[in-house]
């Protein structure tokens, strides 16, 4: 089988990489910079932004998780202010098929 110019032999395993999708320069210019505005300026398809998997096989709990996230963030951020304990860049660490901060992200409540 030939996929996008790559020849795949019988028995070869192909696995998608969400991390690499989220760092495509045509979709995410300056992908290593924190820029939440990019999600306001553009609507990404289920094949371009995949925190819950991609396409029709994404997590069944995606809608509930996003709704809960918005509720929690609204409550917490309306009551408190936070600052980073350490401003050094945090490197990703693989956890199964996903990535997480290697050392965690520590915050201090300032209000």
Q: Where are the domains of the chain?
A: 2-79, 81-111
Tens digits of residue pLDDT in 47-100: 899 888 887 788 899 999 999 999 999 999 999 999 999 888 888 888 877 788
Q: Considering the entire predicted model, what is its pTM?
A: 0.65
Q: Looking at the DSSP assignment, which residues form a beta bridge with residue 51?
A: 53
The pLDDT assigned to 11 comes to: 93
> Among residues of the chain, what percentage have pLDDT more than 70?
100
SS3 of the chain: CEECCEECCCCCCCCCCHHHHCCCCCCCCCCCCCCCCHHHHCCCCCCCCCECECHHHCCCCHHHHHHHHHHHHHHHHHHCCEEECCCCCCCEEEECCEEEECCCCCEEECC
What pLDDT does 96 receive?
A: 76
């Amino acid at each position: 089988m030939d996929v996008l110019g790559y020849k795949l032999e019988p028995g070869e395993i192909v696995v998608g990489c969400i991390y690499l999708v989220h760092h495509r320069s045509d979709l995410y210019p300056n992908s290593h910079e924190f820029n939440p505005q990019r999600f306001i300026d553009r609507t990404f398809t289920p094949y371009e932004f995949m925190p819950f998997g991609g396409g029709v096989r994404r997590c069944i709990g995606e809608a509930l998780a996003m709704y809960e996230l918005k509720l929690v963030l609204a409550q917490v951020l309306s009551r408190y202010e936070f600052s980073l304990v350490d401003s050094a860049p945090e490197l990703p660490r693989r956890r199964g098929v996903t990535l997480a901060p290697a050392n965690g992200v520590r915050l201090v409540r300032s209000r």
